Structure 1
């Protein structure tokens, strides 16, 4: 959601989604909507562009994996 909020303008959203290999029409629809960021992060365009693997490659911390690693022995 934070990444989507950083892309404030529709043209920035379209450019970034196309850069992440989302097809043109779904990227256009996703970028130009006026729905809120919470709604948009659950769409197909954003889910295909921003995956869990990409987030970890970009340096974001996976909280679910950290929680599981700390509570394995409990």
Structure 2
């Protein structure tokens, strides 16, 4: 059951997927809300926490790949509050998408709260609300 849920999220967040972030966040929200409403009565706090972290990491990777050019990466990092030298260093990095999405600078730029503001629902909050209602 948990493996199927993660596989569905993996398909929704493929790096070569078309569409804007709002549509993708809406699809992810539908899957997560439905899954948590069905399985939310069981005790799976650690799984939900780990899956939320993995999903946020995957979405950062997805966003980083969408930015493509160094100029765009630099501009977006500066827009999200990263200092000049740090933004330039990360934008020019030759590391892969998955590895760079785990770096501290990208975590400072695209926080979990930023993803929530862009339309993603917080898995931990959904689970806590659902679990406490029983």
Q: Same fold (TM over 0.5)?
A: yes
In structure 1, the gaps of 5 or more residues are none
Q: Higher helix share goes to which structure? A: 2
Match for residue 38 of structure 1? 98
Q: 1 or 2 for the larger relative contact order (CA 8 Å, sep ≥6)?
A: 2
Deviations 1:6-61 (A, max 9, x none): 10011100000000010111110100111101111111210100000010001023
Q: Show the counterpart of 1:21.
A: 81
Residues 46-61 of structure 1 mapped to structure 2, 5 A cutoff: 46-61=106-121
Larger radius of gyration: 2
Q: Which stretches of structure 1, 4 residues or longer, exceed 6 Å deviation after superposition?
A: none
Count of aligned pairs between the two proteins:
74
TM-score (norm 2): 0.50
Root-mean-square deviation (Å): 1.6
Alignment partner of 1:59: what SS?
coil
The gaps in structure 2 that reach 5 residues or longer are: 1-60
